[in-house]
Amino acid sequence: MKSLIQKLVETTGPSGFEHSIRDLIRDEIDDAADAISVDALGSLIARKGTKTDDGMRVMISAHIDEIGLMATHIDSNGFIRFTNIGGINPLTCFGGRVKFMDGTQGVIGMDGLESGKVPKLSDLFIDVGASSRDDCPVKVGDVCGFERPFLDLGKRLVAKSMDDRIAAAIAIEGLKRLESTPHEVHFVFSTQEEVGLRGATTAAYGVDPDVGFAVDVTRSGDTPRRLTKMETALGDGPAIKVRDSSFIADPRLVDWMVQTAKDAEIPYQLEVLESGGTDGRAIQLTRSGVPAGCISIACRYIHSPSEMVDSDDVENAVRLLVALLSNPINLG
Ligand code: CO
Ligand code: ZN
């Protein structure tokens, strides 16, 4: 699974520009899905299984976009000013490397580094090695992602886009390992999550599920000074979301997910995230409303070029996903 994860995290695909990552995933799941389609916003939707009397139409959503930058202005010396695509902390930018969709690479610089002040995004620029506006290969509106190789630390895995390619890996693996299901399952690889859950919003409307889950990363509270007041920790199992600031998971689904994890002897933790949201909100609020939940992977340094997850959590999330989809859904 690590080689799949490496391919997924090293592919560039900021929100709205997910064609490369979508093509890669389509190749991965081609044989495992019963049918594959792409909707107007570019979300890849893979159906598996036939709905039986015990079954439901289930939507699983993992977003395939990542945070990135978009060129807003190129100055006479060929420096590129940019705006953010999704939540970018300027602290994580300086000295970083970026890759545009056409393969052009560059570095993020700033003026006045010696002042020691924390930069704003507007203090930063991208330098692709151009010396004038004319020889700069980047034009206004071009987008780039952060560039950082996958790092395998054994138990812990690090990459620029664990958010949310690790969930794409879990969904792909779950789709492949799912042998029999009473449900009609729609694995949605959604677009534009980082700019407001847009891909999942239209995909959920199109799929019209009876129930749905997002799979996404969440914060972890286990860094040295524990300043993030969260119970979630790397290695304690996939997290079953109770709430975040975008939605309250259906409590009946939470109970059923917990019971399923216990029955299958899969470690799990409960998650309350005070700021942040997932595709779960888009599923829950589609049409006249859908019971929705979320499986989360605890992740350190979210929205930095070095997001870290635990490989056992990843494996256990796949097991939990397969267990959930292999059984009838009990809403109590
Ligand atoms: Co994110
Ligand atoms: Zn995410």
Q: For residue 206, is pLDDT > 80?
A: yes
Question: What is the reported pLDDT for 198?
Answer: 98
Q: Which amino acid is present at 253?
A: L
Mean pLDDT, range 214-233, rounded to an integer: 92
Q: For residue 332, is pLDDT > 80?
A: no
Q: If you measure from the C-alpha of residue 220 to the centroid of ligand 2, how many angstroms do you get, rounded to a whole number?
A: 14
- Hey, do 2-66+160-325 and 68-146 end up sharing a CATH topology, with the first three levels equal? no
Contacts of 213 by beta carbon, 8 Å cutoff, 6+ apart: 58, 59, 60, 61, 253, 280, 283, 292, 293, 294, 295, 324
Instruction: Report DSSP letters for 52-78, one per residue.
Output: -TT--EEEEEEE--B-EEEEEEE-TTS
Domain 68-146 top-level CATH class: mainly beta
Least confident piece of the model among 30-34, 254-258, 326-330: 326-330
Residue 102's pLDDT band, with cuts at 50, 70 and 90, is very high
Nearest ligand, CA 302: 1
pLDDT tens column, 23-47:
999 999 999 999 999 999 999 999 9
Q: If you measure from the C-alpha of residue 63 to the centroid of ligand 2, how many angstroms do you get, rounded to a whole number?
A: 7
Mean pLDDT for the chain overall: 97
Residue 117's pLDDT band, with cuts at 50, 70 and 90, is confident
Give me the phi and psi of 42, to 5 degrees please: 95, 5
Q: For residue 65, is pLDDT > 80?
A: yes
Residues recognised as catalytic: 193
Measured between alpha carbons, how far is 193 from 207 in angstroms, rounded to an integer? 17
Mean pLDDT, range 58-83, rounded to an integer: 98
**What percent of the chain clears pLDDT 90, i.e. is strictly above it?**
94
Which residues lie at CB < 5 A from ion ligand 2?
163-164, 216
Measured between alpha carbons, how far is 13 from 19 in angstroms, rounded to an integer? 7
Q: If you measure from the C-alpha of residue 296 to the centroid of ligand 2, how many angstroms do you get, rounded to a whole number?
A: 9
Token pair belonging to 283: 């599923």
Q: If you measure from the C-alpha of residue 192 to the centroid of ligand 2, how many angstroms do you get, rounded to a whole number?
A: 10
pLDDT tens column, 134-193:
999 999 999 999 999 999 999 999 999 999 999 999 999 999 999 999 999 999 999 999
Nearest ligand, CA 190: 2
Q: If you measure from the C-alpha of residue 226 to the centroid of ligand 2, how many angstroms do you get, rounded to a whole number?
A: 22
Question: What is the reported pLDDT for 103?
Answer: 97
- CATH architecture assigned to 2-66+160-325: 3-Layer(aba) Sandwich (3.40)
Nearest ligand, CA 216: 2
Measured between alpha carbons, how far is 259 from 252 in angstroms, rounded to an integer? 11
Q: If you measure from the C-alpha of residue 206 to the centroid of ligand 2, how many angstroms do you get, rounded to a whole number?
A: 21
Q: If you measure from the C-alpha of residue 58 to the centroid of ligand 1, how many angstroms do you get, rounded to a whole number?
A: 23
Q: If you measure from the C-alpha of residue 139 to the centroid of ligand 1, how many angstroms do you get, rounded to a whole number?
A: 26
Nearest ligand, CA 67: 1
Instruction: Report DSSP letters for 214-247, one per residue.
Output: EEEEEE-S-STT--S--S--TTS-PEEEEE-SS-
Question: What is the reported pLDDT for 112?
Answer: 82
Domain locations along the chain:
2-66+160-325, 68-146
Question: What is the reported pLDDT for 99?
Answer: 98
Nearest ligand, CA 63: 2
Q: If you measure from the C-alpha of residue 40 to the centroid of ligand 2, how many angstroms do you get, rounded to a whole number?
A: 21
